[in-house]
């Protein structure tokens, strides 16, 4: 008898995460949802298992915006601390989050 793995496939996890993003961030562009979900599925970070489920999407979207849509990485490369780098892009991240939360 072959043991079956009953965990959801990465494809199903990604689809479910995208549906959650659509519900929470209706103004988020589809291509950004796919990119964020791809990172979510690929990431082995245990944070997914220790934070409340209703916060996971927000944390991943915030990180996605910070890393892909702001100069955060450049600020880090200049030698700034993570705290200072995050502070420097916080307004831009918040503005994008608010825009994506709203239906346009």
Six token digits for residue 25: 């961030």
Whether 24 maps to a domain, the answer reads: yes
Largest CA distance in the chain: 57
Whether 1 maps to a domain, the answer reads: no
Whether 75 maps to a domain, the answer reads: yes
Residues 23-70: tens digit of each pLDDT: 999 999 999 999 999 988 887 665 666 677 778 889 999 999 999 999
Whether 2 maps to a domain, the answer reads: no
Whether 5 maps to a domain, the answer reads: no
What average pLDDT does this structure show over 2-23? 80
Whether 4 maps to a domain, the answer reads: no
| Residues 6+ positions from 56 with CB-CB distance below 8 Å | 40, 48
With residues binned 3-state (H G I as helix, E B as strand, rest as coil), the percentages for the chain, rounded to 5, are: 70, 0, 30
Question: Is residue 3 predicted with pLDDT exceeding 60?
Answer: no
Whether 70 maps to a domain, the answer reads: yes
Q: What is the C-alpha to C-alpha distance for residues 56 and 69, in angstroms, rounded to an integer?
A: 19
Whether 17 maps to a domain, the answer reads: yes
Higher pLDDT, 78 or 2: 78
Question: Number of folded domains in the chain?
Answer: 1
Q: What is the DSSP string of 29-60?
A: -HHHHHHHHHHHHH---THHHHS-HHHHHHHH
User: Which range of residues forms the domain containing residue 34?
Assistant: 11-101
């Amino acid at each position: 008898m072959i043991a079956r793995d009953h965990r959801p496939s990465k494809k199903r996890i990604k689809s479910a995460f995208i549906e959650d993003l659509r519900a929470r961030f209706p103004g988020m562009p589809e291509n950004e949802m796919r990119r964020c979900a791809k990172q979510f599925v690929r990431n082995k970070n245990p944070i997914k298992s220790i934070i409340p489920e209703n916060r996971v999407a927000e944390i991943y979207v915030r990180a996605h915006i910070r890393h892909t849509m702001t100069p955060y990485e450049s600020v880090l490369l200049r030698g700034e601390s993570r705290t200072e780098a995050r502070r420097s892009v916080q307004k831009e991240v918040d503005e994008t989050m608010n825009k994506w939360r709203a239906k346009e």
